[in-house]
Structure 1
Amino acid sequence: MHVPDGFINAPVSAATGVVAAAAVAVGLRGARRELAGAGAGGVAGAERTAPLAGLVAAFIFAVQMLNFPVAAGTSGHLLGGALAAILVGPYTGVLCVSVVLLMQGVLFADGGLTALGVNITDMAIVTTVVAYALFRGLVKVLPRRRRSVTVASFVAALVSVPAAAVAFTALYALGGTADVAIGKVFTAMVGVHVLIGIGEAAITALTVGAVIAVRPDLVYGARGLAKPLELRTSPLAVPAGAAAPAEGAAPADEPSRPAAASASAAPAGAFAASVAPRRSARRVWLAGLAAALVCAGGISYYASASPDGLEKVAHDQGIDAKARDHAAKDSPLADYSVKDITNPRLAGGLAGVIGVGATLAVGTGVFVVLRRRRNADSGEQPGTGSGEQQAAGSGEHQGAGAGRSSESA
């Protein structure tokens, strides 16, 4: 659904540029809280969001190269707003998709440069806001299980795509450059994008479900759904007010208390810290990067060559009557193919790999800087987060259960 130059007139394009800039500014502010752990109640696991956010942007870039057929002569591709919002948070999600759109427009001549505001408004803001609002509403009424998060992801992603089609129709009604009946545009856009939404929903649900299966604490939308950890007093615990034995000494009537019993009598804060150790997200990160590289560098060769939903509707309805060539049409990576490489498989695969690397580098750089600025403003040391501090020092049991799902694996 990348809008080219010339579809929307200059005033509306400028207005959407202002809207997009404002949304990115708000997203930067909100993402600082999400990446530092202030989002979703400041739960444990948020300190690992920053490196994963850049990966989410790269993964969305890669999967957007996989056009899938939805009707005769029409294809669709992932928009990614729902996926990003559920995995890393709505503010960070807007930034993820915006980074993808920027890289596509500048490096690959996909989506007009003068229409960048239109594309960010439509594909980043609308999809993310609609999807996450619906997702949060669904998880509140569905059973508190991992499966519910996957179901809510599917529905939210499904609705977000036709919502973006409606938003484009509204923008075209305000500033379309061709004299086309808006009713026909609305019917055609929504009709084809409902079908595309099914593919979007499947990709989103499968991806979210896969991450939840191995690391539910890394899914932003699943935080806060876990049951709080209940600590039960051990029968061997020292009664309140009784004098505690000296360190290393056993009570006279219990010369050989097992170590496990001693652990059960530990203070609640210490127990919470022991059952909620910090787990590295490196394996998930590497698996996600490998999947992105495979999609962009190999599977993309087999993607549908049919025009996507917007291109098809534009051609059929005459929306593209005043479309202009992209300013970067002669760039070395235009149309997702490395210039001067004659082998199409190699040219396309190499362009995809370069795109994944560039998007990962830019996205990770942005999110790491945001995280560090948040830490500096809050006085935290790098590498720590509010979730960790709560688990290690507050003595409250919520930190221990924040990254766990209420349903057993």
Structure 2
Amino acid sequence: MHVPDGIINAPVSVAAGVVAAAAVGVSLRGARRELADERAAPLAGLVAAFVFAVQMLNFPVAAGTSGHLLGGALAAILVGPYTGVLCISVVLLMQGILFADGGLTALGVNITVMGVVTVLVSYGVYRGLLKVLPRGRRRSVTVASFAAALVSVPAAAGFFTLIYAVGGTTDVPLGKVLTAMVGVHVLIGIGEAAITALTVSSVLAVRPDLVYGVQESVSAPLKLRVGGELVDAPVASPAATDSAAVPVAARSARKFWGVGLLTALVLAGVVSFYASANPDGLEKVAADQGIDKNVRDHATADSPLADYGVKDIDNPFVSGGLAGVIGVGVTVVVGSGAFWVVRRRRTSAAVEKSTSGSGKVTA
């Protein structure tokens, strides 16, 4: 659903940019709490890289149409809603600058639609469902994740239609655009929901203590089925910071991060070659409804990595695979670095507050 330059006029694009900048600013402050655990920053960088990789895997949803993961629900559940907005923003920034995917003047629109809306809607649905589903069950988390991701995609499509209604550069009946956008993105939402539920369930099976949505949303201990019996999932304890188990936990987290990064590299570097070549939902609707008449060439169309291929490499498998690997690598480095800085600022602020609060005045 990457919006190109030219579909939305300049004033609305600027307004969307202001909204996106405000959302990122709020998220930077909110993410400090979500990144309190020292494992959270590299995990958030990994989530951003994983979303980047999976977004390269377009899957067919209807005749001549494909879809791909938006990732808002997945990021929000795994690392928290504030950090989730930042993850998707990092992905969209890397895609726009390096791969000419999503217009640069439309970056604010894309962050608002694909980042802010999907995260807010999905996390709200997720938290709401966990209040009514049986507590402490892995199945409840999986079901809530599926439903949250499913709803978030047509919600984003509907919000894009609202933006188009205000600032669209072509004169097309709004009803047709809304029907087409929501219709095709309901189908895409099914794929998004399946990917999100599968990923969340897989992480829960091995490291439930790393899933933010479980830590924040499930009051009862999470149950995992081991050897046919339900047992309490391990929960990280602040008291564990002084125990001998910390080095083991740290090694385990690093191993999890390494396996996750390898998975993202394989998806982007190998599996992406077999992705559907059909236009995605927005591209198809834009072409069918004529809202792409004023689309402009991307500002970085001559980038060495434009269109997810490496310039001057003729073999499409090697070109696309190498571009995917580069994209995952850059995203995980930029994302992890940014989240580390956010976490470090939180730590510095906490230390400064503690120091100022414990100061004594003597006569």
| TM-score (norm: length of structure 1) | 0.79
For 1:63, the equivalent position in structure 2 comes to 54
2: distance between equivalents of 1:341 and 1:47? 40
**Displacement, 1:47?**
3.1
Please give the secondary structure, in 1, of the residue aligned with 2:264.
Answer: helix
2: distance between equivalents of 1:116 and 1:270? 43
2: distance between equivalents of 1:78 and 1:5? 21
1: distance between equivalents of 2:333 and 2:116? 22
How do 1:326-341 residues align onto structure 2 when only pairs under 5 Å count?
Answer: 326-341=298-313
For 1:20, the equivalent position in structure 2 comes to 20
For 1:350, the equivalent position in structure 2 comes to 322
The count of corresponding residues between Structure 1 and Structure 2 is 332
How do 1:196-211 residues align onto structure 2 when only pairs under 5 Å count?
Answer: 196-211=188-203
**Displacement, 1:146?**
1.4
Residue from 31, 47, 50 that aligns with 2:38 = 47
Residue from 182, 189, 205 that aligns with 1:190 = 182
**Displacement, 1:157?**
0.2
Matched, 1:93 2:65: no
2: distance between equivalents of 1:324 and 1:345? 28
> Could you list the per-position Cα deviations for residues 344-379 of structure 1 after superposition, in whole angstroms to 9, with x for gaps in the alignment?
000000000000000011000000011111111111
**Displacement, 1:276?**
7.5
Residue from 241, 257, 271 that aligns with 1:285 = 257
How do 1:87-236 residues align onto structure 2 when only pairs under 5 Å count?
Answer: 87-144=78-135, 145-224=137-216, 225=218, 227=220
**Seq. identity, %:** 75
Q: Which amino acid aligns with 2:2?
A: H
After alignment, is 211-220 or 144-153 more displaced? Answer: 144-153
> Could you list the per-position Cα deviations for residues 76-112 of structure 1 after superposition, in whole angstroms to 9, with x for gaps in the alignment?
0000000000000000000000000000000000000
Contact 2:98/2:305 (8 A) holds in 1? yes
Q: Which amino acid aligns with 2:282?
A: L
| Residues 329 and 52 of structure 1: CA distance in aligned 2, closer, same or farther (over 3 Å) | same
Please give the secondary structure, in 1, of the residue aligned with 2:149.
Answer: helix
> Could you list the per-position Cα deviations for residues 214-241 of structure 1 after superposition, in whole angstroms to 9, with x for gaps in the alignment?
0100000001425479xxxxxxxxxxxx
For 1:369, the equivalent position in structure 2 comes to 341
Q: Which amino acid aligns with 1:318?
A: G
**Displacement, 1:147?**
1.4
2: distance between equivalents of 1:51 and 1:73? 38
2: distance between equivalents of 1:271 and 1:376? 22
For 2:226, the equivalent position in structure 1 comes to none
Q: Which amino acid aligns with 2:28?
A: L
2: distance between equivalents of 1:226 and 1:130? 22
Residue from 277, 285, 299 that aligns with 1:313 = 285
2: distance between equivalents of 1:187 and 1:181? 10
Q: Which amino acid aligns with 1:375?
A: T
Give the 4+ runs in structure 1 shifted more than 3 A: 226-229, 269-278
| Residues 142 and 326 of structure 1: CA distance in aligned 2, closer, same or farther (over 3 Å) | same
**Displacement, 1:274?**
6.1
Contact 2:240/2:246 (8 A) holds in 1? no
Q: Which amino acid aligns with 2:294?
A: K
Please give the secondary structure, in 1, of the residue aligned with 2:48.
Answer: helix
1: distance between equivalents of 2:17 and 2:146? 30
2: distance between equivalents of 1:271 and 1:17? 43
Q: Which amino acid aligns with 2:271?
A: I
1: distance between equivalents of 2:148 and 2:59? 20
Q: Which amino acid aligns with 2:33?
A: R
2: distance between equivalents of 1:48 and 1:371? 10
> Could you list the per-position Cα deviations for residues 309-367 of structure 1 after superposition, in whole angstroms to 9, with x for gaps in the alignment?
00000000000011100011111000000000000000000000000000011000000
Q: Which amino acid aligns with 2:23?
A: A
Please give the secondary structure, in 2, of the residue aligned with 1:322.
Answer: coil
Structure with larger Rg: 1
CA RMSD of aligned residues (A): 1.8
**Displacement, 1:33?**
1.2
For 1:391, the equivalent position in structure 2 comes to none
| Residues 228 and 179 of structure 1: CA distance in aligned 2, closer, same or farther (over 3 Å) | closer
**Displacement, 1:183?**
0.1
2: distance between equivalents of 1:271 and 1:24? 33
2: distance between equivalents of 1:165 and 1:351? 28
Structure 2: gaps of 5 or more residues: 223-237, 353-363
| Residues 270 and 313 of structure 1: CA distance in aligned 2, closer, same or farther (over 3 Å) | closer
1: distance between equivalents of 2:220 and 2:201? 19
| Residues 353 and 270 of structure 1: CA distance in aligned 2, closer, same or farther (over 3 Å) | closer
2: distance between equivalents of 1:71 and 1:96? 29
> Could you list the per-position Cα deviations for residues 159-205 of structure 1 after superposition, in whole angstroms to 9, with x for gaps in the alignment?
00000000000000000000000000000000000000000000000
2: distance between equivalents of 1:118 and 1:31? 22
2: distance between equivalents of 1:309 and 1:103? 21
Please give the secondary structure, in 1, of the residue aligned with 2:60.
Answer: strand
For 1:242, the equivalent position in structure 2 comes to none
| Residues 272 and 336 of structure 1: CA distance in aligned 2, closer, same or farther (over 3 Å) | closer
Please give the secondary structure, in 1, of the residue aligned with 2:6.
Answer: coil
How do 1:379-398 residues align onto structure 2 when only pairs under 5 Å count?
Answer: 379=351
Please give the secondary structure, in 2, of the residue aligned with 1:79.
Answer: coil
